[in-house]
Amino acid sequence: MTLSRRGFMGVAASLTALTPFASARFSGAHAEGAQKKIAIVAKIGGIPWFNAMERGIQSAGKEAGCNAWMIGPTQADAAQQVSAIEDLIARKVDVIGVVPNDASSLVPVLQRARAAGIHVISHESPGQQGAEWDLEFTTPAADGERHMEALAKATGGKGGYIIIVGSLTVPQHKLRADAAIALQKAKYPDMHLIGDRFGCGESVDDSYRTVMDQLRAHPDLTGVLAFGSQGPIGAARAVDARGKIRTVSVVGPFSPGQGAKYVRSGAIRCGYIWNPLLAGQTLVRLAMMMATDKPITNGMDLTDIGALQVDPAQRSILAPKMQIIDRSTIDALVALGL
């Protein structure tokens, strides 16, 4: 089944009144006074990727007996994330998790959270200042390179390509794009980057319009490398609308249920993802360890993840568990509800 777009319930009346967020909250059977409170601030609410992450957050919260919920901004906007975190500080939660839209913009508010005795963990933001740990499922360099290799294979290593990122300030997307471009320049000289990066990958409509514009402006465009889960979807819509499925290759990470028809038609060639549901579960499990002062150590085994690669010096946690999405895997991934 596909992941449906749905609204988020208000975290509380005060949050609904004061900030432009949609969110969902887990209400468990345990008495709230005895529960640890863990809030994860997503990049944006209401899209399939973060809907799946929210399901993971809720299931892990129930498993752990904690009060775990996700807050999703109505737009991929750093200011909205700052407002959400300020509200969470006032509510004295135990742990704040965040998937930043702009790493640097969050530093002051994350530092205020830490000063208030709140633990902080980030995701998709290596080296995030103000966070105690950062959780990743791949390294940006490895992911950028594997996607560029896939694009080069799809295009025959020739022609112009564009890069879409979630926004120009998303740390992971910037690093992925850097690695992809560096690999292309070193290994595929017959390919060339067209223009600069386009920061529209968290919006299907914006990605669609961007790719339509680039297809009109650049007859030599043969590839789209899109980071941000909505980028490949919007790009595929544009390629399909222009009748370019056979001549323009779209590669990038996306939610399988949302992109299944484009994979089957060939409008999306492939992408690599980690499981967002598993990411939500892992964030909550790690957050509970932080909230209860349990050590996070190299090689420790978390359910469904396996051994973690923990670097205390870099404050990084790597759970290398990636999955290719293509015609050979799409049906199984959709069946999992991703």
Confidence class for position 8, pLDDT limits 50, 70, 90: very low
Residues 190 and 293 in one domain: no
Q: What is the mean pLDDT of residues 267-285?
A: 96
Q: Is the pTM of this model over 0.85?
A: no
> Residue 59: in which H helix or E strand, if any?
helix 48-64
In a domain, 10, yes or no: no
Q: How far apart are the first and last CA of the chain?
A: 8
Residues 167 and 66 in one domain: no
- What is the chain's mean pLDDT, rounded? 90
Residues 241 and 291 in one domain: no
In a domain, 16, yes or no: no
**pLDDT at residue 34 in the model:** 63
Per the structure, how many domains does the chain have?
Answer: 2
Confidence class for position 157, pLDDT limits 50, 70, 90: very high
**pLDDT at residue 171 in the model:** 85
Residues 144 and 93 in one domain: no
**pLDDT at residue 31 in the model:** 35
Residues 199 and 102 in one domain: no
Report, in this order, helix, strand and coil percent for the chain, each rounded to 5. 40, 20, 40
Which stretches of 116-230 are DSSP H helices? 140-155, 171-187, 204-217
> How far apart are alpha carbons 246 and 12 in whole angstroms?
49
Residues 214 and 128 in one domain: no
